[in-house]
Amino acid sequence: MLLGASLIASASTVAQVPRFEHVVVVVMENHSFSQIIGNASAPYVNSLAAENADFTQSFAIEHPSQPNYLELFSGSNQGISDDSCPHTFTGENLGSELIAADFTFIGYSEQLPAEGSTACSAGTAPNTYQRKHNPWVNFSNVPAASNLPYSAFPSDFSTLPTVSFVVPNQCNDMHDCSVAKGDAWLKSNIDSYAQWSKTHDSLLVLTWDENDRSVPNQITTIFIGALVVPGQYSETITHYNVLATLEAIYGLTPVGTDDAKAASPITDVFRIFSDGFD
């Protein structure tokens, strides 16, 4: 099949974004933009930034980790301002909306002890799972079958759900281990999908939850995949813009706070060839 054919056929003329067969969102931890981009300890991430769409003005919304994950997934921190556990929410979110619209969603968490687990933590330090990094488990309208260990992430990427999130453990996400460790994990575990996505109408979003608490709360965000135009993009974006982009790709109604609902989808990184787009 000609690259992009299915994207073109299903492009949203309102959102000005292509509809990808698959999107994978990978969330890393607690490093500022300047600690990643230009850092010789992160050669793989820097290669992705150089060859794809690198957002040079990307920002997390607050601190600590958990509110940012909730905002990226549901457009709201759900009233949570810390990393406490457990919580249960009933509001709409990316996962519930995808499922209601006959798409599919799965979150893959490294060291999650079992499908559907509601544990607050698991594993042996530093290779631990922390529920604070898993927003979908908190929502009663996202089924347990959408909450899987990373070991279930398929090697046949054509079997991936429509949208998936990947959350490494606390070592591999750079939270408790080095930048070099996380960079090596990404190369070993995510690069095969990154390369596959470019010829299979799919997208990879690599982002960080928050920075190291320096001001401003600037983070690294990179888009990789089919129809992504490489370059540096200087518009200011936050987790709300990334969420709005995912919602626009699949024609979903924006969820969350007024700020989240008002956030613009990211459109300038995609090459679209028909339906009035250049």
Residue 156 DSSP SS3 = coil
- How much is the pLDDT for 272? 76
Residue 190 · residue 219 · CB < 8 Å: no
Structural domains of the chain ordered from first start: 5-262 (3.40.720.10)
| pLDDT value at residue 273 | 56
DSSP state for residue 194 in the 8-state scheme = H
Which residues are CB-contacts of 140 (< 8 A; sequence separation ≥ 6)?
88, 89, 90
CA-based torsion, 103, 100, 110, 148: positive or negative: negative
From its phi and psi, is residue 60 left (phi > 0), alpha (psi between -120 and 50) or beta? beta
CA distance 3 to 127: 39
Cα–Cα nearest to 53, from 200, 209, 270, 263 = 270
Nearest partner of 110 among 72, 137, 148, judged by Cα: 148
Q: Is 143 helix (H, G, I), strand (E, B) or coil?
A: coil
CB 127 within 8 A of CB 150: no
For strand 53-59 and strand 237-238, is the pairing parallel, antiparallel, or unpaired?
Answer: parallel
pLDDT digits (tens, 9 = 90+) for 118-131: 999 999 999 999 99
Which residue in 24, 34, 55 sits closest to 238, CA to CA?
Answer: 55
What angle is formed at CA 242 by the lines to CA 240 and CA 244, rounded to 5 degrees? 65
Paired with 25 in beta bridges are 165, 205
Over the chain (278 residues), what is each successive 10-residue block's mean pLDDT? 34 66 98 98 98 98 98 98 98 98 98 98 97 98 98 98 98 98 98 98 98 96 97 98 98 98 97 54
Going by the DSSP 8-state scheme, the letter that residue 264 receives in this structure is P
CA separation for the pair 14, 263 (Å, rounded): 15
Beta bridge pairs of residue 206 = 26, 222
What pLDDT was estimated at residue 12?
37
Report pLDDT for 8.
33
Residue 31 has which token pair? 């490093």
* pLDDT tens column, 209-260: 999 999 999 999 999 999 999 999 999 999 999 999 999 999 999 999 999 9
Q: Where are the beta strands (DSSP E) in 201-246?
A: 202-208, 218-225, 231-233, 237-238
What integer pLDDT is reported at residue 11 of this predicted model?
33
Q: Dihedral, CA atoms, 222, 224, 228, 231, nearest 10 degrees?
A: 40
